[in-house]
Structure 1
Amino acid sequence: MAKATQKMSLHSRLVRSIMALSSITVLIAAISIINMVDKEGDETIASETRAWANILAKNSSRFLESDNDVSQVKLKEELKELITTPIINHIHVYRLNEDGSVEYFTSYNKNHRFPAISNKIDQISQLSTIQYQNNHLELIVKISQGQQTLGYLFIQSSLLEKQSFIRKLTYMTLAFLVLTLMLAFAVSQWLFRTTTQPMVKLIDDISKISQSRNYQTQLTRQPYKELDILTKSINVLLLRTDKHVSNFVEEQEHVESKNQALENRLSARTDALKESNQELLSTLEKLHEFQDQLVETEKMASLGDMVAGIAHEVNTPIGLGVTASSLLADKLSEIKMAFDNQTLKSSQLKKFLTDSDENVAIIFRNLERAAKLISSFKKVAVDQSSAESRTFNVSGLVDEVLLTISAKIESANVNVKVNCPEELYITSKPGPINQILINLILNSIFHAFDGLDNGTITINIMNLSDQLHINYRDDGNGIDESIKAKIFDPFTTTKRGSGGSGLGMHLVYNLVTQALDGHITLEEEEERGVSFDITFPVELAASE
């Protein structure tokens, strides 16, 4: 939750503004005055120092010219007598020798509290202009006679008196600032009481109107022009509010009456809708039952197609076996008659043995083929009628499915290519898988290759990440664009009047998504034919 913004009162804003303005004004004035006093004090002391330096240098020249041994003492005494200003702390006098060297001559200290300082001979060039230190300034001037330089005079002046005056001035400024703040606070309080009293009265009147909701009440005139304009605007707003409230009440009553009428109509229509909805639910249940029956019928129809195909396939080898066995029986009767009549020849016996080997071989091959067909049909039929999981070889399952519908495949002149690892054993539900493959192949034969002389079906199977991937593809006529989006919906067919139920792909979709818990998608990028991608989870198993 966002933190509520704190509002500043008008009183606080007024007091702070006046006090801040007063403080800033006083501080700016005080800082300006102090800076000006400080600057003028430095200039005054520097000017006075320069004047004293010139005077003392002029009086010291005659002592530097003298070779008398007491000239140093006399100069020192004269300096004490001449210096009457309290700003000078130290005086050093240096003499310039004929060889150009500079030596200390004499000095002056203000009193015993100002001990002697080191000479400044090495700073003569640097101190030719005034240099400011923390509490004093220093200057060195030449002592000359005419054009001849006799020596140098070092002077140090104190800045303590100026600094003391500035401190006093600062204290006075702070005291004046406090006094100004107190006066500003008193003035702001007086201004607030004077200007806000009418505003407080106006706020109270508006609060009373808000509580009573009597918007016909008018506010009284105000003494200040701005507040009076605000009062007039509020009075206009109150009149308009009263008008809007009256209109709103009338509209509310009208809306309530209309709502009541609508509720009555809605109640009547709701009752009628409930009756219609009940009828629709009953009809929908019947449709679902009919759809389930049709799906079961479609399953049985596919099983019937397999039975017819297997019957046709089994009939051929059994017929050949019967024919071969009849020929063998006839040959055997001839040999027996010749043996009984004692007319049996070795060539006749040899020919009988040769023909018998051929007939027995024909009988064995055809009976073996019939047994294989019946065994495959039995496995497929059992798998289709059972949804139990078991371990099986995927390639073998596909071969059994193709064998059971081989008659349909051959009659349609369709070539089926299967790409599947030979040693791929999985644990899954073989029944739904062979039903899916049978429905897809029969769907291609009946629809994709309708009107074509031949066709090719390609089935690619692989295992990736515990998922069995089956890509089913044919190069037939493809799927019409109008039904691509609803290819897996029930009763979707292009041969509704030619025996097509429209449940084949719906059955495939239900087997993939419900029985195998997988996914099936139709690839739409194919230029010719159709392609389905089927994936569902499996468990890899060791080869049996």
Structure 2
Amino acid sequence: MSANRKVKSLRSKYISIMALFVTFAFVGGHFAVSYFVFEHLEEDIAKDTIERGNMIANRSANFIIEDKFNEYKLVLNGLEALPRFNYVHIYQMKNDALEFFSSYNKKGFPAIPSKEAFIEQYKTPVITENIVELIYPVIHNESLIGYAYIQLSAEHLYHLRKTSFFTLAIGYIIFLLAGIYIAIRMQRSVANAVSYLVTDIREISQKRNYQKRFVQMNTLEFEVLANNLNILLSRTEKFIKKQGDAEQEILKLNHELEDKVSQRTEALKESNQELLSTLEKLHQFQGQLVESEKMASLGDMVAGVAHEVNTPIGLGVTASTLLSDRLNEIKTAFEDKTLKSSQLKRFLNEGQENVGIIYRNLNRAADLISSFKKVAVDQSSEEDRAFKVHELIDEVILTLAPQLKHKTVDLQIECPKSLSVISKPGPINQILINLIVNSIIHGFEGSDEGVINLNIMQLSGQLHISYRDNGKGVEQALRNKIFDPFITTKRGEGGSGLGLHLVYNLVTQALGGNIQFDSEVGNGVHFEINFPVIVE
């Protein structure tokens, strides 16, 4: 045996071997835990963060589109029930630039700077110590309308890392000491203690009984391990209880939300029923107003004809009064025997003139009344009859003479005098009156003269009416709804807005035809009307 060779005792060899074994075992265990446990935990956290980011982005899309800042602020405040949410920032795209839309800060957490400059950095979840951050795009109809930044708490992973590291370190010390103890004493107490711990841990793992606690151990190392395991079990129990409370709170909120949705649904049904009832009444009122418009048009025509008839009757009364006075003078002269031949001759001449005046004016009044009677009867009837179109137009013009006198209107009629058809003269009469009155009131407003061109012809069993005026025309905003009810530029000045609506209904419903409208401001209006007729 060499004097310089160092001889180690068996105890030191066993201790060295055990120390190396324990060291390599715990180093390998640490890397295994880091790879298999924490790597998977980080992946799960990343997936959970992406799901939550997707949820926040989807819920914020409609609020961004509708610009409902305050409503969405209330929705974000509901995240208080989810303790993992630390911050939520919502940004919206405006004019190809990001602008702040809304945010949520966890209670007790100070505000953080804007994250607009970190979009590329946080496109995938980034875990930093005890937090995880993500910026998720907000998509609406396959278009990018903003971004949602979320910061979630990763305290459980952070604490798990620390606890795992601390546990591994303590375990390393314990097992190192245990290995030395085994190497020195080789007693069964160590094996028994390890077996006890393993049995309890297995029972806790299988039954998920986190309320169970490890009892005091006989050795310090295992006592420390047991205490730390008890701490871990306590934290696990608290976390599970907290998670359960959060789930119960979510269920409660879901039930409350379902109740509110049910109540709002019932209220919406009642509102819809009321709207349907109101719409039905409006249709009834609209029909009544259309009939009232017809009667009002007839009333205006009666007033105009009464005024027109008053003139010839007044002239007839004046002439008859003058004739009566001259007759009394002749009678008195005859009775007094002072009648002269020249006086009698003058009386006969004046009498003949007055009788002529009376005849002409009474005949004029009779024509007016006859024309009005035909128009009135036609307007109140929708039966088919044979009539000459040109005569119908003459009757309309005669009826509208009072209105046409107020303005110098050049009414140009192009219609064959021999054109005779079988149709409903009443609706045609009403259509022409409404169009001419509409031109006088609206088209020639502010002007003392105007031109109306009425071209009527028969083509292939259809009566074609082309109506034009050179008035001021219709603005672009009113053209597409010119036939809608209650559309008028004279609201508050006697205009009901039903004139052209009545024309449209008469053409399409009473006559079974169609009507087209065109106009430019300053160039008057143009109506094209076609409806089927029977040509005699």
TM score, norm. by length of structure 2: 0.51
Matched, 1:405 2:408: no
1:402-451 deviation line (CA, Å, top 9, x unaligned)? 11110001112222111111011100001101111111111111111111
Asked if 2 retains the 8 angstrom alpha-carbon contact of 1:409 and 1:415, the reply is: no
| Whole-angstrom distance in 2 between the partners of 1:419 and 1:319 | 35
Matched, 1:462 2:465: no
Counterpart residue number, 2:517: 522
Q: 1:340 to 1:306 in 2, by over 3 A?
A: same
Write the distance in 2 (CA, Å) between the matches of 1:324 and 1:300: 36
1:443 aligns with 2:438: yes
The residue type paired with residue 445 of structure 1 is I
Match of 1:306 in 2: 301
Q: Which residue of 2 aligns with 1:324?
A: 319
- Give the superposed CA RMSD: 2.4
Instruction: Write the letter of the residue equivalent to 1:442.
Output: V
Of 388, 411, 419, the residue aligned with 2:414 is 419
> Closer, same or farther in 2 for the Cα pair 1:437/1:295, shift >3 Å?
same
Determine the C-alpha separation between the residues in 2 that align with 1:514 and 1:261. Answer: 53
Secondary structure in structure 1 of the residue aligned to 2:464: strand
User: For the residues of structure 2 that align with 1:385 and 1:259, how far apart are their CA atoms?
Assistant: 64
How far off is 1:527 after superposition? Answer: 5.9
- Separation in 2 of the partners of 1:340 and 1:294? 66
After superposition, residues 363-512 of structure 1 pair within 5 angstroms as 363-512=358-507
Which position in structure 2 is the counterpart of 1:31?
none
Matches within 5 A, 1:130-529: 268-524=263-519, 528-529=523-524
The number of residue pairs the alignment matches comes to 288
1:312 aligns to what SS in structure 2? helix
- What letter corresponds to residue 396 of structure 1 in structure 2? E
| Counterpart residue identity of residue 385, structure 2 | R
| Aligned residue identity for 1:433 | I
Residue type of the partner of 1:392? F
TM-superposed CA distance for 1:299, in Å, is: 1.0
> For 1:293 and 1:361, how far apart are their aligned partners in 2?
48
Letter in structure 1 aligned against 2:504: Y
Partners in 2 of 1:277 and 1:517 — Cα distance? 34
Aligned-pair CA distance for 1:348: 1.4
What is the TM-score normalised by the length of structure 1?
Answer: 0.50
Whichever residue aligns with residue 415 of structure 2, its letter is C
Q: Which amino acid aligns with 1:421?
A: P
Q: 3-state DSSP class of the match of 1:497? A: coil
CA apart distance, 1:267: 5.3
Structure 2's unaligned 5+ residue stretches are 1-246
CA shift digits 1:131-153 (9 cap, x unpaired): xxxxxxxxxxxxxxxxxxxxxxx
CA distance in 2, matches of 1:345, 1:267: 108
Q: Deviations over 1:459-484 (max 9, x none)?
A: 11000000001111111111111101
**Letter of the 1:488 counterpart:** F
Quote the Cα distance in structure 2 between the aligned partners of 1:532 and 1:346: 66
- Paired with 2:513 and 2:403, the residues of 1 have a C-alpha distance of 28
Counterpart secondary structure, 1:487? coil
Q: How far off is 1:345 after superposition?
A: 1.8
Q: Which runs of 5+ in 1 are unaligned?
A: 1-253
- Give how far 1:271 is off: 2.9
**TM-fit CA distance, 1:524:** 3.9
- Return the offset for 1:290: 1.6
Deviates more, 1:486-495 or 1:345-354: 345-354
Contact 1:401 1:438 in 2 (8 A): yes
| Structure 1 position 307, deviation (Å) | 0.9
User: Match of 1:506, SS?
Assistant: helix
Q: 1:358 is aligned with what amino acid? A: E
> 2:319·2:355 contact (CA, 8 Å) conserved in 1?
yes
Q: 3-state DSSP class of the match of 1:386?
A: coil
Give, in angstroms, the shift of residue 264 of structure 1.
Answer: 7.4
Residue type matched to 1:486 in 2? K
DSSP-derived class of the 1:479 partner: coil
Contact 1:478 1:528 in 2 (8 A): yes
Rounded to whole Å, the distance in 2 between the matches of 1:524 and 1:417 is 19
3-state SS in 2 of match to 1:523: strand
Contact 2:473–2:520 (CA under 8 A) maintained in structure 1: no
Q: Which amino acid aligns with 1:372?
A: D
Q: Deviations over 1:354-409 (max 9, x none)?
A: 11111011000000000000011111111111111100010001110111110001
SS, match of residue 278 in structure 1: helix
Identity across matched positions, percent: 66
- Higher CA-based Rg: 1
- SS state at 2:487 partner: coil
